[in-house]
Amino acid sequence: MIDSTLFREAMAHVSSAVSIVTTDGEAGRTGMTVSAVCSVTDTPPTLLVCINRNSRSHDIFLHNGVFCVNVLNADHQELSGLFASKADQESRFSQAIWHKGVTGSPILEDAVVSFDCRIDTISDVGTHSVIFGVIQNIEIRHSCQALVYFRRRYHALDVQLETQT
């Protein structure tokens, strides 16, 4: 059996985009930093996000039934840290500009791209809920560099190699 320390060390070697996933609705507004986001299918347009069931935000997402994945740009390092910290939700949201998406979820004004989703299904896997969201609306901003997390450090995509495909 692979122990959790080795698992985390190995996963730190898989680069990922960094996102703030948000929701608002009957259960209130919440947001948290996540890297476990994945494209699933374009028919219907679906992505998934994995959230620990012990997270305080978990039940708020499920109750509201909607969420928005806001993919961070290279200037969002501090915001990423803030939404991963113990700061209360009011303080978190006060540090950036947001508008309301079609689902009611907060959309980060200068995210690289925002996916506004309605929860379709949820799979429980170990400690986490895998939440599948059907995308209701998309906002893309073409001018920003992406924030990437790799080996427990932030990186900006900078060196562009020649495309082979």
Binding site for a second copy (CB under 8 A): 1-2, 4, 6-11, 13-17, 35-46, 48, 50, 52, 71, 74, 77-78, 80-81, 84-85, 112-113, 115, 121, 123, 125-128, 130, 132, 135-138, 140, 146, 148, 150, 152-165
Measured from the CB atom, is 27 or 132 closer to a second copy?
Answer: 132
Measured from the CB atom, is 91 or 121 closer to a second copy?
Answer: 121
Tokens of 132: 């599948």
Measured from the CB atom, is 27 or 154 closer to a second copy?
Answer: 154
Considering the complex, what minimum distance in angstroms separates the CB of residue 122 from a second copy? 10
- Rounded-to-integer distance, Cα 101 and Cα 59, Å: 20
CA-to-CA separations, 82 to 62, 77, 79, 92, 143, in angstroms, rounded: 22, 9, 5, 6, 24
Considering the complex, what minimum distance in angstroms separates the CB of residue 155 from a second copy? 5
Instruction: Enumerate the β-bridge partners of residue 106.
Output: 100
- Rounded-to-integer distance, Cα 39 and Cα 13, Å: 20
DSSP designation for 163: P
Considering the complex, what minimum distance in angstroms separates the CB of residue 61 from a second copy? 16
Please, are residues 41 and 129 in contact by the beta-carbon 8 Å criterion? no
Considering the complex, what minimum distance in angstroms separates the CB of residue 5 from a second copy? 9
Please, are residues 163 and 92 in contact by the beta-carbon 8 Å criterion? no
Instruction: Enumerate the β-bridge partners of residue 95.
Output: none
Measured from the CB atom, is 88 or 125 closer to a second copy?
Answer: 125
Considering the complex, what minimum distance in angstroms separates the CB of residue 27 from a second copy? 23
Measured from the CB atom, is 26 or 152 closer to a second copy?
Answer: 152
